Amino acid sequence: MRVLQRAAGLALAALVAGALPAMAQQKTLRIAMTAADVPTTTGMPNNGFEGMRFLGYPIFEGLVLWDLSRADRPATLRPGLAERWEQAPDDPRTWIFHLRRGVQFHDGTPFTADSVIWNLDRYFKPDSPQFEPAGSGITRARTPIMASYRKLDDFTVAMTTTRVASYFPYMAVYILFTSPQSFERAGRDWAKVAELPAAGTGPFRLGRFTPRVSAELLKHAGYWDQARVPKLDRVLLLPIPEANSRLAALRSGQVDWIEVPPPDAIPSLRQANFNVVTNSYPHVWPWLYQMGGTTSPFRDVRVRQALNYCVDRAGLVQLLNDTAEPSVGWLKPSDPHFGAPQHRYGFDPARGKALLAEAGYTAQRPLSFKVMISASGSGQMLPLPMNEYMQQNLKEACGVNVAFEVTEWNTLLTAIRQGPDAPILNGSTATNPSSPSSDPAVAARYFLQAFVPPNGFNWGQYNDPEFEEAFAALENARDEAAYDAAYARAHARLVDNPPWLYIVHDLNPRAMSRRVRGFVSAQSWFQDLVTVDLQ
């Protein structure tokens, strides 16, 4: 591993050194990502939400976009390639999107309803010439309720969902659009589209792309919103999955910005005049329980509750140098939709062991299970030391034996799209993918029975009738009070009948040179590179 890290460091040094002459005349921001590889560049990036953060929204946009302009509140939605949208008055399952006029892809071709339908066929119509299996899998998982769509005129599109969903715009935000001409130029081969580069409509356009080495974003001076033309000329994205390698790259001046610095290095980074930025945002770092597997101990709610009482979350926060906060539910206790659950989890080993004993697990017959984890990845924080802490904590506090199946991030994402007992899990009955907790659309995908794989992310096969009832009221809500009340009832069930072991909420740390200016740490997985400048 050290040899590989040394080789990666030499390759990074050579790449950055070779680029210095070009950078001398440009404002070039160099970012070290946590991903093990450069996310795919066809317009629907892999590598989870870090892929969307850096190789998604800056280049390829949706009809709906995130408003990342503020740091003092969770990110909301704003118009993107659609100027506005509404539910059809005669059918609440149908949403009408009114497209923005005058928008062009980076290749100069116009953005119209035809290009919207072409991209929707790419994701949702397997027999279309442009169908892209990889992009389809990602998009379908994030938009599992798409039923049909149609062009109403050159600048109006209708989308119909399988169920009434007040939150559908929060799903539409993940459908990105690539120029159909990119596909034609590549000979109708998506593998070649990735190398063109592909054309989107965003404030940055793709430059050079070298798998496992780097991706280059270039300012798009002709962006449709002239108030949001980037201040930077160029962004160089570098995959550096190992935290200490990212730290070394920042300290040596090879990069200007790193995602997730090692927590124990934060005080010295600040002393060395680096800027360390944190902010609360809707993100939870959990273990997902498998409740449908034939041998899973998590079919028993007492086991799921017990582990939530066995975790010393404050100790883990201390290990992370206060770059996280304890999690006792999918939402934070300060969230107005947290609700009033009966269980308020804290570090209470006696209660945890009592619940385990009720379920038949004692010192003579201890609970034992395997968790599939990744070595790095989007939003995964520092998964290896954090999971080692969890392993020791659960053993010492409640006598629980935990083993790990360590894999690569994209393999873990593939695994949680499979059913229980799938061979890829290798006996794991829990998994450790971090999750956004930004809106009910995400909750639907993770917790509604309708969205067990392959229809969504309900990998654990969670099925709670009270949650389903409350969530149906949320989906059909027509006023804010009804929506808020239903959301709070639904979330209380996620605490009292927990589908996950809630561990911590991330505080989104990143470290950067003092030369980096204008960055707004949005309360979101996604960040706006348009406002960033270099001194």
Q: What angle do CA 233, 234, 237 make, to 5 degrees?
A: 160
**Domain spanning 60-187: which CATH class is it, in words?**
alpha beta
> Residue 179 and residue 181: Cα distance in Å, rounded?
5
Q: Where are the domains of the chain?
A: 1-41+202-281+509-535, 60-187, 283-506
Residue 268 is predicted with a pLDDT of 96
Per-block mean pLDDT, blocks of 10 residues, the chain (535 long): 41 52 74 93 93 97 97 94 96 97 98 98 98 95 95 98 95 98 97 92 96 95 98 97 95 97 94 95 95 93 98 96 95 94 97 98 97 89 95 98 95 92 95 92 94 90 98 92 96 98 95 97 95 96
CB-based contact 26:121 (threshold 8 Å): no
Q: What is the dihedral of CA 176, 181, 182, 188, to 10 degrees?
A: 110
CB-based contact 443:492 (threshold 8 Å): no
Residue 116: is it exposed, middle or buried by C-beta count within 10 angstroms (0-12/13-18/19+)?
A: buried
> Residue 16 and residue 494: Cα distance in Å, rounded?
47
Strand order in the sheet with 257-259: 204-210, 214-219, 234-239, 28-33, 257-259, 510-512, 275-277
Residue matched to tokens 């950055």: 16
Q: Is there a shared CATH topology between the 1-41+202-281+509-535 domain and the 60-187 domain? A: no
Q: Which residues make beta-bridge pairs with 283?
A: 436
Q: Six-digit token pair at 464?
A: 């709670």
User: pTM here?
Assistant: 0.86
Residue 1 is predicted with a pLDDT of 37
DSSP state letter for 226: G
Q: Six-digit token pair at 533?
A: 């400048």
- C-alpha dist (Å) from residue 339 to 90, 263, 487, 493: 33, 32, 8, 9
Residue 7 is predicted with a pLDDT of 40
Q: At what angle do helices 383-398 and 349-358 cross, to 10 degrees?
A: 70
Provide the pairing of β-strand 435-436 with 510-512.
unpaired
Element (H, E) at 505: strand 500-506
Residue 12 is predicted with a pLDDT of 58
> Residue 69 and residue 54: Cα distance in Å, rounded?
17
Residue 13 is predicted with a pLDDT of 53
Residue 379 is predicted with a pLDDT of 80
Could you tell me which of 474, 493, 494 has the C-alpha nearest to residue 484?
A: 474
Report the CATH number of the 1-41+202-281+509-535 domain: 3.40.190.10
Residue 51 is predicted with a pLDDT of 94
> Residue 68 and residue 344: Cα distance in Å, rounded?
32
**Domain spanning 283-506: which CATH class is it, in words?**
alpha beta
